[in-house]
A = this chain, B = another copy of it.
């Protein structure tokens, strides 16, 4: 018969294989916590040898970071939302848009943003923080609050903090259903308004006095 009856495995372009593995990994990491997903599981799911994961992604942790990175790349805020009207209107529109995009990602978004999965990993935090930062900057820009460059760093820090409220309330909404979508939207809108309207202005006012000894404590009592 034919000499090469049937190849035991198929040879793919690196990009295609990488993509396929990434897809399987994304699905599994969405279903179970990080530690519960073994590289063997991912390899089996992709119909591939375990060693290939290391070949393409290095460590298991790196693969996970790739998954998170991709998950946090959300469609841009700038398009599809008009930035006209009062502050309240703009705020409500942007919150609404954000909830829409999150709704499409569903539980996977919650699983990734929530307890991350890998633990308090510096690299992972950097990625998430970076994504939060981008979201914060975009929100500020969208709301037309990018003028006072002097306070920009603190403004963004506060917007990242606001991101914590966003994630937590979304978790209440998606997971337990303890908040309806309207509740979530109301909460997020009001909070965002008060931040950009009241907090930012008070920030500018208090900017004069010394801020030297208001730093964070070191690390708490040693024992």
Q: Which residues of A contact B (CB under 8 A)?
A: 23, 27, 30, 33-36, 103-109, 111, 114-121, 124-125, 153-154, 156-158, 160-169, 171-183, 186-187, 190-191, 193-195, 198-199, 202-203, 206, 211, 214-221, 223
Contacts and interface: CB of A to CB of B under 8 A. Distances in A.
A137 to B, nearest CB: 14
Contact of A118 (B33, B166, B198): B33
A157 to B, nearest CB: 4
A180 B202 CA distance: 14
A76 to B, nearest CB: 20
Integer count of this chain's copies in the complex: 2
B153 A158 contact: no
A143 B29 CA distance: 40
Given A103-B216, A191-B199, 18 more contacts: A23-B223, A33-B120, A35-B35, A35-B118, A103-B217, A103-B220, A104-B217, A106-B217, A115-B115, A115-B119, A154-B179, A160-B178, A162-B165, A177-B215, A180-B214, A180-B215, A186-B199, A186-B203
A182 B211 contact: yes
A102 to B, nearest CB: 9
B187 A158 contact: yes
Contacts of A121: 33, 115
A73 to B, nearest CB: 16
Contacts of A33: 118-121
A221 B104 contact: yes
Contact of A178 (B157, B168, B191): B157
A134 to B, nearest CB: 15
A122 to B, nearest CB: 8
Contacts of A27: 223
Given A115-B125, A119-B33, A178-B154, A194 B190 contact: yes
